[in-house]
Amino acid sequence: MSEAAVTVDSVTKKFRVYHERNQTLKAAVMRRRRSVYEDFLALDDVGFEIPQGSTFGLVGDNGSGKSTLLKCLARILYPDSGDVVTRGRVAALLEVGSGFHPELSGRDNVYLNGSILGMSREEIDRKFDAIVDFSGVEQFIDQPVKNYSSGMYVRLGFSVAIHVDPEILLVDEVLAVGDAAFQEKCTEKFVEFRRDGRTVVVVSHSMPSLRNMCDNVAWLSHGKLVETGEAKPILERYLDSTRTDQRTGRDGEVRWGSGEAQIDAVELVGPSGPAASFRTGDEVTIRLRYTARERIENPVFGLALESHDGVYLWANNTRDLGHRIDAIEGSGVVECTIPRLALQPGTFQVMASVVDQSTTHVYDYVREGARLVVDFGTPVESGGYLALDGRWS
């Protein structure tokens, strides 16, 4: 057998969670005591190997330690005990485009981000045309990236990172970016990586994506390794452990983010009020109720739709539609109205998010915020996901 691409050896990682914190020397003297905190065990003696040339998934509920482990693999975090050994050049797609400067052009940011990821100027020169071609933003490459749509911004960041040519690629929740054509490019790139004998490690809450991509997975729960091995049987056991009735409770909902703002509810509303189902061609309003625990400047709210089998169908956010929100604080409501529902009958998942202005930092992302049930309406067409109202002549 070939040597493992990654060895995770008894890794433990703690974080200090403060309940009361002395921000100044004066506060410490006046209160006459130390800050009050407890240790949170994010990873607890986790160990496994990732085979060379495989696509390996990390799965588990929120707070299970997946992203912490991925950051340990990327050397962004270091374990308190244990060790992570990687064999080969590593590139991490964690917060894609997070190294971009909004005032600089796309061209300048390719060089800036490429250098941050470890490429030399000569290497970027050589790969520049391929990076821009893959991203699909050729027409706007000399425009400041602050004028890019969120999709363009993320596509360019993804393209830079994927052209680092790593032996090991680490991916955290960035597979559902861009349009269908760009996702197809990304899938082809991962296939190419596997064909070239490279290793991909991916964290995703999309079970269809993990089933299609992964050879093996590791299942984490509350920082501990539950099991590791062949992907399909472990993913089925993981799903069995998390299934709840999504219509009556949110116990099993999948969400992630830093938490400064939270999506409290995703409601579906028709012209006559809240509704459990709709018809093709109906007007639908998706109402997001949120709570911001602190003042957040220029937040961006987003929505997406996914089919029952995991096909990413649609995405929309306030930034790309030019609906600027100066700030949020406390509780509030935002709404997105779809004038004519262009979906064939079926059941679809509504995903909702609130992110920062760059769209790379997630405050909250709810994967199964609501279930959209669509019945026959107008037009009635032959099949597929979309009702495009085709006309014959």
User: How do residues 68-117 score in pLDDT, each as one tens digit?
Assistant: 999 999 888 999 999 999 998 888 877 666 678 889 999 999 999 888 88
Q: Which residues in the chain belong to E strands, given as ranges?
A: 6-20, 36-50, 55-59, 81-86, 90-93, 168-172, 199-203, 216-221, 224-230, 255-256, 261-270, 273-274, 277-279, 284-297, 300-307, 312-317, 327-338, 346-355, 362-375
**Can you give the pLDDT at residue 67?**
87
**Can you give the pLDDT at residue 158?**
84
**Can you give the pLDDT at residue 188?**
81
CATH number corresponding to 6-241: 3.40.50.300
Only one residue has tokens 């037009």, namely 379
CATH number corresponding to 255-375: 2.70.50.60
- Contact between 362 and 257 under an 8 Å Cβ cutoff? The reply is yes
**Can you give the pLDDT at residue 246?**
37
Give the bridge partners for 46, in sequence order. 11
Contacts (Cβ under 8 Å, ≥6 apart) of 364: 255, 256, 257, 259, 261, 262, 263, 290, 353, 354
**Can you give the pLDDT at residue 332?**
97
**Can you give the pLDDT at residue 242?**
67
Backbone torsion region of residue 373, taken as left when φ is above 0, otherwise alpha when ψ lies between -120 and 50, otherwise beta: beta
**Can you give the pLDDT at residue 91?**
82
φ, ψ of residue 186 in degrees (nearest 5):
-65, -45
**Can you give the pLDDT at residue 92?**
82
Q: Residues spanned by CATH 2.70.50.60 within the chain? A: 255-375
Give the bridge partners for 297, in sequence order. 327
Separation of alpha carbons 116 and 110, rounded Å: 10
Across the beta sheet with 36-50, the strand order is 36-50, 6-20, 81-86
Q: Residues spanned by CATH 3.40.50.300 within the chain? A: 6-241
Beta strands 255-256; 362-375: pairing state: antiparallel
Beta strands 168-172; 199-203: pairing state: parallel
Nearest one of 200, 166, 165, 196 to 88, comparing CA atoms:
166
Q: Which residues in the chain show pLDDT less than 70?
A: 1-2, 18-37, 95-98, 173-180, 242-253
- Contact between 264 and 366 under an 8 Å Cβ cutoff? The reply is no
**Can you give the pLDDT at residue 102?**
87
Q: Which helix (H) or strand (E) holds 72?
A: helix 66-73
